[in-house]
Amino acid sequence: MTQTPKNSRAEREINDNLKRAYDDVIQQPVPDRFTDLLAQLKQAEAEKAPQNARGDNADQ
Amino acid sequence: MQTSDPRDELVEHLGAMRAFAMSLTRNSALADDMVQDALVKAWTKIDTFQPGTNLRAWLFTILRNTYYSHHRKARREVSDTDGAFSDQLAQKPDHDGRLQMRDFNTAFAELNDEQREALVLVGAEGFSYEEAAETCGVAVGTIKSRVNRARARLAELMELNEDEALEMTDSVTTGIVSAQKNVA
């Protein structure tokens, strides 16, 4: 395996670029389709669950 | 009795899921389709998640499975990568190190899928080699080797030559970096 020093310039630049690219996507606002999807899945789950004691689940 | 449902935590991982998907597909439409599929799978298969273990690693395992079983093929049929991990970055005005970033994205695109995911998991997401190995279903040594090869290949493509680096003093390096910023 390589014996490259951990703090080499190349490694540093690669890590910086990589983190910047990754963080840039992470920091984008999450599209509504995903929060909507999670809400739909949750609702479907609540409707099929047998113990709907509270009766406050959203009606279709 | 159920005190907490890990599915309630899915929302906290959406950003990271998109970033990981983006790093694999380098196309935002495909990446988001992939995240959508993975979310549905995660929701329906939550029983296979062991509470107390790394939820994000588990989600990434699902994501990469959807990529390799389906989206990688779609990826080949899409000619445009909207950068990456690239175009949003290039479009950002006056982004520090913009020139350098474009080079990085070009180089990043040259890596194969296995190298790319290993590098992202370890280098960007901060997974341990063990977590990355588990996520990818390979040995720890395989992950280490992929990460090393990915870094070596990127350095080669970005012409970040180790020999050059050794010859440079810090002041010379600083001078070159600021010169590049002026050009950009």
- For chain A, the domain total comes to 1
Q: Where in chain B is the domain with CATH 1.10.1740.10?
A: 1-82
Cβ <8 Å between A19 and B22:
no
- What CATH architecture applies to the domain B84-184? Orthogonal Bundle (1.10)
Nearest CB to B11: which of A8, A31, A35?
A35
Instruction: State the Cα–Cα distance between residues B150 and B91, nearest whole angstrom.
Output: 26
* For range B125-147, the mean pLDDT: 97
Chain B contact set for A18 (CB, 8 A): 104, 108, 119-120, 123-124
B41-79 per-position pLDDT tens digit:
999 999 999 998 999 999 999 999 999 987 777 766 665
| Smallest Cα distance from B58 to chain A, Å | 17
pLDDT at residue B120 tops 90: yes
Mutate to test the interface with B, among A9, A15, A23, A42 (most CBs of B within 10 A): A9
Task: Report the residue of chain A nearest B106, measured CA to CA.
Answer: A17
pTM of this prediction?
A: 0.75
B89-103 per-position pLDDT tens digit:
444 444 455 556 668
Does the residue A21 lie in any domain? yes
Does the residue A3 lie in any domain? no
Q: What is the pLDDT of residue A58?
A: 46
Confidence band, pLDDT 50/70/90 cuts, at residue B2:
low
Q: Where are the alpha helices (DSSP H) in chain A?
A: 9-26, 32-48
According to CATH, what is the number of the domain B1-82? Answer: 1.10.1740.10
Q: What is the pLDDT of residue B113?
A: 93
How much is the CA Rg of chain B, to the nearest whole Å? 19
pLDDT at residue B138 tops 90: yes
User: Tell me, what's the ipTM?
Assistant: 0.72
Domain with A25, as residue range(s), is 17-46
pLDDT at residue B108 tops 70: yes
What number of other Cβ atoms are within 10 A of residue B91's Cβ?
A: 10
Q: Which of A8-12, B13-17, B35-39, B149-153 comes out lowest in average pLDDT?
A: A8-12
Does the residue A33 lie in any domain? yes
Q: What is the pLDDT of residue B83?
A: 52
Q: Where in chain B is the domain with CATH 1.10.10.10?
A: 84-184
Task: Report the residue of chain B nearest A40, measured CA to CA.
Answer: B40
Mutate to test the interface with B, among A22, A27, A28, A41 (most CBs of B within 10 A): A22
Does the residue A25 lie in any domain? yes
Cβ <8 Å between A9 and B32:
no
Amino acid sitting at position B81: T
Instruction: State the Cα–Cα distance between residues A36 and A16, nearest whole angstrom.
Output: 34
End-to-end C-alpha distance for chain B, whole angstroms = 59
